[in-house]
Amino acid sequence: MPTTYFSEDHEWIAVDGDTGTVGITDYAQEQLGDVVFVELPEIGRTVIKGDDMAVVESVKAASEVYAPVGGEVVAVNEALEDNPAAVNEDAEGEGWFVRLKLADAAELEDLMDAAAYAAFAESQG
């Protein structure tokens, strides 16, 4: 079963073996409002932890999606191109953005677990 970690930039990553599925959190999608467009990276792109790797646009604003860890993009959620609203409907499930082959699993240690993230998100207001 995957282990899920969260970043201070409101991304989540569900790690299973050496691969992680990345998306934005429910908190982030609530702040954005209705998502109308998602720009995903190319498969094969290498990202460094903290790099912007995707863009999500809503009726309110456009926002970068940052890599919670470094790695290689091995899959993208192409369904979001036709149905970006899936991010609002199931941000931490079917609304995922990319799958990364992890470059360094030790980077996960800098991320939060669900309880720590919930407290962090609550402190954001």
pLDDT given for residue 45 in this prediction: 98
Summary mean pLDDT of the chain: 96
68 found inside a domain: yes
Residue 122, domain member (yes or no): no
pLDDT-based confidence at residue 2 (cuts at 50, 70, 90): confident
Indicate whether 119 belongs to any domain.
no
Q: Is the pLDDT of residue 91 over 80?
A: yes
30 lies in a domain? yes
pLDDT of residue 4 exceeding 80: yes
Q: What is the pLDDT of residues 57-76, one digit of tens each?
A: 999 989 999 999 999 999 99
Q: Find the domain containing 91 and state its range.
A: 3-110
* pLDDT reading at 95 higher than 90: yes
User: Going by C-beta distance under 8 Å and a sequence separation of 6 or more, which residues neighbour residue 103?
Assistant: 46, 69, 70, 71, 72
- Where helices occur in the chain by DSSP H, the ranges are 26-32, 79-82, 86-89, 114-123
Q: How many structural domains are present in the chain?
A: 1
Query: The domain spanning residue 60 has which CATH number?
Result: 2.40.50.100
What is the model's pLDDT at position 8? 96
Question: Is residue 31 a part of any domain in this protein?
Answer: yes
